[in-house]
Amino acid sequence: MKVVLFCGGLGMRLRDYSESVPKPMVPVGYRPILWHVMRYYAHFGHKDFILCLGYKADSIKEYFLRYDETVSNDFIMSEGGRKVDLLQSDIQDWRITFVDTGVHSNVGMRLKAVQPFLEGEEMFLANYSDGVSDLPLPSMVDYFRSRDAVACFAGVCPTQSFHLVSLGEGGRVKSIRHVKDVGMRVNGGFFVFRKEIFDWIGPGEELVEAPFQRLASAGKLLAYPHDGFWACMDTFKDKQLLEDIHARGEVSWEVWKSEGAPCARPIPNLRDTAAEVAIPSAAGIGALEPVEALELAEPVGAKAAN
């Protein structure tokens, strides 16, 4: 399936890190978080990506056009550096379509903008491109495929530490419970859609607001509960946490690390090293089985724009 990645938002809450680097390009270890998300999908065989670009789109394009596989792969160098044999490869068989979907577009507008590049796709995947997880993607896809629904997202446990307060008359507190003890979940940003999703999105609508509410009312929206690892990079503190996890080697989202290393192969020239690139023009922006005891901490979506 094709994978739509929303990576055009302003990332305002990460401005403390850098105003010159778009959020998808903020590094975790040797590679930007966008790469970690793409590598996750590629591990499961989904290697045809559509990037919904916006803010600082040139940084993302330039990164892949100048991609260096030796940064995150083992290799053998010989002949004084004139010959390099890669022991693994990242993006050799990836196909990436770069689409400018506008700087100030919301997620729904970005998705509508890339609709022409999804022609013929009965189902497709999507992601906010700022979160990592060990989510069992094949299981989520099968879960969705076997049910009569238009959209599905990963429902994950909140990572924040706060308490929910229930108030009675006169401001008297009836109960105080930690958010993790109330059975609530948030939108983890990992999506599976059927092509009918475009029929539910009106002009200018944010995906997880009006469209998702209509889908939920019609019984066409699913949440796949995931209790494993999940983390997103919304703030500078989140970036530091992911960096600490990566430094300790506790990177459970790197599901591809279980693969065996292939035989060494010569590294191609710089132009051949990058993934296949397509840079089109996006002129046209323009009976459910519910999950038991699954509540949403927010009105379905945990994000506003990406």
Q: What is the mean pLDDT of residues 128-146?
A: 96
Question: CA quadruple 69, 72, 73, 78: dihedral positive or negative?
Answer: positive
Closest CA to 305 of 152, 133, 142, 109: 109
Q: What is the mean pLDDT of residues 275-301?
A: 41
Q: Please, what is the Cα angle at 153 between 34 and 120, to 5 degrees?
A: 80
Burial class (CB in 10 A: 0-12, 13-18, 19+), 79: exposed
Q: pLDDT band for 260, please (50, 70, 90 cuts).
A: very low
Per-residue pLDDT tens for 218-231? 999 999 999 999 99
Closest CA to 159 of 244, 251, 228: 228
- Whether residue 51 is predicted with pLDDT greater than 70 in this model: the reply is yes
Mean pLDDT of the chain: 83
- Runs of H (alpha helix) within 13-56: 33-43
Per-residue pLDDT tens for 166-201? 888 888 888 888 767 777 889 999 999 999 999 999
Contacts of 142 (CB under 8 A, 6+ apart): none
Of all residues in the chain, what percent carry a pLDDT higher than 90?
57
Q: Is 204 left (phi over 0), alpha (psi -120 to 50) or beta?
A: left
Which comes out higher in pLDDT, residue 232 or 267?
232
Cα 205 to Cα 20: distance, rounded to the nearest angstrom: 28
Q: What is the mean pLDDT of residues 120-143?
A: 96
Which comes out higher in pLDDT, residue 47 or 268?
47
Task: Specify which of 35-49, 227-241, 264-278 reaches the highest per-range mean pLDDT.
Answer: 35-49
Per-residue pLDDT tens for 94-109? 999 999 999 999 999 9
pLDDT number for residue 13: 56
- Whether residue 80 is predicted with pLDDT greater than 80 in this model: the reply is yes
Instruction: Please state the separation of Cα 183 from the chain's center in Å.
Output: 24
- Whether residue 42 is predicted with pLDDT greater than 90 in this model: the reply is yes
Question: CA quadruple 163, 168, 172, 175: dihedral positive or negative?
Answer: negative
- Whether residue 132 is predicted with pLDDT greater than 70 in this model: the reply is yes
pLDDT number for residue 159: 75
In DSSP terms, 124 is beta-bridged to 193
Q: Please, what is the Cα angle at 115 between 112 and 120, to 5 degrees?
A: 155
pLDDT number for residue 163: 80
Q: Hey, what are 6's tokens? A: 């929303």
Q: pLDDT band for 138, please (50, 70, 90 cuts).
A: very high
Which comes out higher in pLDDT, residue 64 or 15?
64
Could you tell me if 196 and 150 are in contact, meaning their C-beta atoms sit under 8 angstroms apart? yes
